[in-house]
Amino acid sequence: MCHSDPVSVDSIPTARELRAFIDLVDGLPQVMAAAKDTAGRYLYVNRGFAERVGRRTRDIVGRTVEDFFAPELAESYAAQDAEVLHTGKPLQGHLELIVRADGRLGWYLTSKTRLVADDGEIAGIAVMSVDLQSQMDSAHSGLAAALDAVRADIAHPWRVSEIAAIAGLSTTQLERLSRRTLGMSPRGVLQRLRLEHAVRLLSTTSLTAGEIASACGFYDQSSFTRQFRAVLGLTPGAYRRSGRFEADEQAATATEARP
C-alpha cells in the first residue's frame, strides 16, 4: 500500500470551507463523510467513515482510497472524484451498496462536490453518504410487508402490480409512497433488493455469476452484470475480489491492534 504524509486541516487553503463542512456533518447519525485534497488524500473523515473502513480516523487522514479499498473499487471512487473536480458538476444521490466493516450490507445515497477556496482555487472534494436503512426500517407497514415478500422470493419475476397488491395499494399509490419514503421507484427498489441478495451470494458462496443471476431473478447474466456495474461500479467478479481484499485488510488491521 502507498502511504502519504499526514495532512493538517490548518495547512490547506480552504480550511474555513472545510471547517464549515465538518461542522455540518460531524455529528450526523447514519452519515459517512470525508474531505480530500486534489491529490485524493483524506483531509477529514467522520466516525461513520472510519467505522466503514475499520480504522481510526487518525490512521486514515493523509492516505488515499488505494490504501483502504481493493484496486477496482478504489479506481471507481477515484474516477468519480476526478470527474467532479474536472467538470465542477456535483455527483448527487448516487446509489451505492456498501459492505460495512462488520460485514453487514448497507445502501447509501452518495453526493460529492468541489471544495473551492475564497480565491477561487479548487482545493479538494467533499463527500457525504447517507444510510438509507432508517427509511427502510420506518417504511409504511404495507410497503414493509411487500419488501419482506420480495426478499423471501427474490427469484420470482415480480411485477409492480403484484408488489402493490401485497402492500394493499394501487400501483400509483405504491409509486408515490416508494419515492417519498425510499427515494426511488418500485422498480428501483426491486433492483436494489436483487443486487443486495447478489452481493450476499458473491460474498458467501462460490456460485458462478450465471447461477447468481438466476437465483436473484435477473433476466440473464448479461443483464445482471450490466445492472450490477451500473450501481456498484464494478463487475460481479471484481466485486467478489474486492470483498476478499477487504476481508484480508480487516484481518490485518485486527492483528495490528492486538497488544
| Mean pLDDT in residue range 57-64 | 93
- For the chain, the first-to-last Cα distance in angstroms comes to 23
Tell which residue, 145, 173, 144, has the closest CA to residue 161: 173
Q: In what helix (H) or strand (E) does residue 156 lie, and over which residues does it extend?
A: none
Mean pLDDT value across residues 175-186: 86
How far apart (Å, rounded) are the C-alpha atoms in residues 166 and 200?
25
pLDDT band at 134 (very low <50, low <70, confident <90, very high): low
CB 29, CB 125: distance < 8 Å: no
The amino acid present at 247, given as its one-letter code, is: A
Work out the pLDDT band at 244, boundaries 50, 70, 90.
low
Residues 69-98 have pLDDT tens digits of 878 778 888 999 999 999 999 998 787 777
Tell me the average pLDDT of the chain: 83
Can you tell me the mean pLDDT for 161-169? 95
**pTM of the complete model beyond 0.85:** no
Domains for the chain: give ranges and CATH numbers.
9-131 (3.30.450.20), 135-240 (1.10.10.60)
Beta strands 42-45; 31-37: pairing state: antiparallel
Contact 212, 176 (CB under 8 A): no
- The interaxial angle of helices 160-167 and 141-152, nearest 10 deg, is 130
Q: Which three cell numbers stand for residue 13?
A: 487553503
Q: With bands split at pLDDT 50, 70 and 90, how would you rate the model's confidence at 8?
A: very low
220-235 pLDDT tens trace: 999 999 999 888 888 9
pLDDT, mean of residues 2-26: 62
Amino acid symbol at 38: T
Is residue 249 very low, low, confident or very high in pLDDT (cuts 50, 70, 90)?
Answer: low
Hey, what's the cell of 210? Answer: 450465471
Q: In this model, does residue 137 exceed pLDDT 60?
A: yes
